Amino acid sequence: MTKVSVIFGTRPEAIKLAPVIIELKKHNNIQCHICVTAQHRQMLDQVLEVFKIVPDTDLNLMTPNQSLSGFTVKAVEQIDKYFKKEKPDFVLVQGDTTTVFCSTLSAFYNKIPVGHVEAGLRTGNMRSPWPEEANRVLTSRLADLHFAPTEINKNNLLNEGIPDQSIIVTGNTVVDALFIALEMIKNNPPEIEGLQEGDLTYIYNGKFILITGHRRENLDEGLTNICYAIKELSFRFPDIHFYYPVHLNPKVQLPVKNILASEEVLSQNRIHLIPPQSYLPFIYLMYKSYLILTDSGGIQEEAPSLGKPVLVMRDTTERTEGLKAGNARLIGTDPAKIIKEVTQLLRDVDLYRKMVQNTNPYGDGKASSRIVNSVLKRIQK
């Protein structure tokens, strides 16, 4: 029996690998071995619970205030020990985290072939997103199979000299996971942590903007600008509510609470700062929202399938397909620009409709089966 090791450490990786794991477990000739680094412990565990995934190996590498260098050293060493003990025939990783790069490097040292799920995303700027762009580029140099979500991603890899025969265009597994989640919440809406009395009224009628903001390159000035823009928008649009699940990072919490939890803002009761949500409640918030303000990557891929416009509060994005299709707009973190773009979408019905009527350029919900079939072909050679 062939052993395929699936390694991940963060919430986004878990979400996007869950449907791949489900698909792997359908094959009797594959032993799917799950290893987590727990790079993000709490948020990772929430997703594992949703998809009923139990890790076979939990390296539990997260420590308070760990540096990227410290985590990298620890991860390479512990993953190396894991490989020597378990001896997998093939390794699957996903995305752009430090766990992805460390797993791929360690697998390379142990001469184990690696399949990179969500390969080929590029901004062309090593410092944005940081360090994710470098993690992706380095992983591509060492991986054996490259599962590119789109043709654009495939072309990025070809332009870097990756052999055509090692690249498979699959769609993005986040869409597979989204469809699974929608089935779960359709008849059983999840409880949303941190809601106050009356909040469900705003959520049910769909007149709210969902916000996420936590990327490293937006910390400090960028996030401060975002918060000032949200504050101003809340004054300009008294019929709109704003729900912001605030990341636990103290560098996110401080500016958000200083600007958006002031007495002046709280008195109007239109900006709602809630705890980070587990996967299903967050999908429900996306599903019910009017539009989404975000600096996240995965949300750009999920929102088109929900018919939600996305305004991306970043200067660059490695997910250009949504921009070209018209599902998303790249608006940066300048407060005036954010206010202008949100105002346009709230007032221009035709513009709003154009953004929500496009199909999802990131996938059709069948990426996982394409990935697993490609792994099987590789293993059987």
Q: How does pLDDT run along the chain (381 residues), one tens digit per residue?
A: 899 999 999 999 999 999 999 999 999 999 999 999 998 888 899 899 999 999 999 999 988 888 999 999 999 999 999 999 999 999 999 999 999 999 999 999 999 999 999 999 999 999 989 999 999 999 999 999 999 999 999 999 999 999 999 999 999 999 999 999 999 998 898 999 998 877 877 787 778 999 998 777 777 789 999 999 999 999 999 999 999 999 888 888 999 999 999 888 888 889 999 999 999 999 999 999 999 999 998 999 999 999 999 999 999 999 999 999 999 999 999 999 999 999 999 999 999 999 997 789 999 999 999 999 999 999 876
The residues assigned a catalytic role are 96, 118, 132, 214, 216, 247
Q: What is the three-class DSSP state of 64?
A: coil
Each domain of the chain, given as residue ranges in start order, spans 2-171+366-380, 194-356
Question: So what's the pLDDT on residue 162?
Answer: 98
* Residue that the structure tokens 């498979």 belong to: 168
Contact 79/103 with Cβ under 8 angstroms? yes
**Two tokens at 224?**
């401060």
Class of domain 2-171+366-380 as given by CATH: alpha beta
**What was the pLDDT predicted at 186?**
85
Residue 189 tokens read as 């809406």
Look at residues 212, 223, 175 and name the one whose alpha carbon lies nearest to residue 291: 212
DSSP 72-138: HHHHHHHHHHHHHHH--SEEEEESSSHHHHHHHHHHHHTT--EEEET-----S-TTSSTTHHHHHHH
Q: What per-residue confidence (pLDDT) applies to 38?
A: 92
Instruction: Say what the pTM is.
Output: 0.91
- Residue of 210, 234, 215, 174 lying closest to 314 (CA atoms): 215
Count CA atoms closer than 13 A to 298's CA, side-chain side: 22
194-356 folds as Rossmann fold (3.40.50)
What pLDDT is recorded for position 65? 84
Domain 2-171+366-380 shares a fold with domain 194-356: yes
Q: How many CB atoms lie within 10 A of CB 330?
A: 18
Question: How many angstroms separate the CA atoms of 56 and 81, rounded?
Answer: 15
Contacts of 200 (CB under 8 A, 6+ apart): none
Helix axes 11-24, 173-186, angle to 10 degrees: 90
